[in-house]
Chains A and B, each alone.
Chain A
Amino acid sequence: DAGVIQSPRHEVTEMGQEVTLRCKPISGHDYLFWYRQTMMRGLELLIYFNNNVPIDDSGMPEDRFSAKMPNASFSTLKIQPSEPRDSAVYFCASSPDRLNEKLFFGSGTQLSVL
């Protein structure tokens, strides 16, 4: 099993540019989560999907952030336009059909917005 796959591993961009982060969850997992981690705020849940449907996006910072899950094997998190305060590590995680099963995290995308 390849686990949760995220790309890119690192992204450096300039303020104002569009950034797209990608995630492939573990096959058969019905839940997909996007988290952001910073030193100041720790690990924050941005949005999660159940069976490709967004369930809770209350953690999305503002309208510049959007997430999609067009099918069970792919999700994107987009930031447009990006700002320096968006610099963080973005993790995607998936879990099986019951939430009290464990979360499987991808390796994360280190985003730096200059």
Chain B
Amino acid sequence: RKEVEQDPGPFNVPEGATVAFNCTYSNSASQSFFWYRQDCRKEPKLLMSVYSSGNEDGRFTAQLNRASQYISLLIRDSKLSDSATYLCVTSGGYNKLIFGAGTRLAVHP
């Protein structure tokens, strides 16, 4: 079983739609959680950290459920520019980050 699992998608949504991604992780000792965004042929970039109480950054909301070991990302009012691959990231052992394979989002007009 992979340490971090994501639905690869693609999620095809129209502009203005709300879309949600989930991610499950296997290491119950994980302490840090993040969502990264990766555009085609580019490097990953941090989108937001995920806190236990849930957190919001503009149109983006991230939540953590430790009991079920999953993380979610909600995007409201999708824009064309949101089209990208979203990578779920957790901390593994020895202070290293483990990346999921990513969920691809395509927002169309």
Contacts and interface: CB of A to CB of B under 8 A. Distances in A.
Interface residues of A, number: 20
A106 interface: yes
Interface residues of B, number: 21
A106 B43 contact: yes
A70 interface: no
Contact of A99 (B36, B97, B100, B101): B97
A42 B45 CA distance: 15
Interface in B57-73: none
Contacts, number: 49
B46 A48 contact: no
Given A56-B94, A56-B96, A99-B32, A42 B43 contact: no
Given A42-B99, A56-B94, A102 B46 contact: yes
A72 B87 CA distance: 28
A102 B44 contact: no
A45 B97 contact: yes
Interface of A: 31, 33, 35, 41-43, 45, 48, 50, 55-56, 91, 99-100, 102-103, 105-108
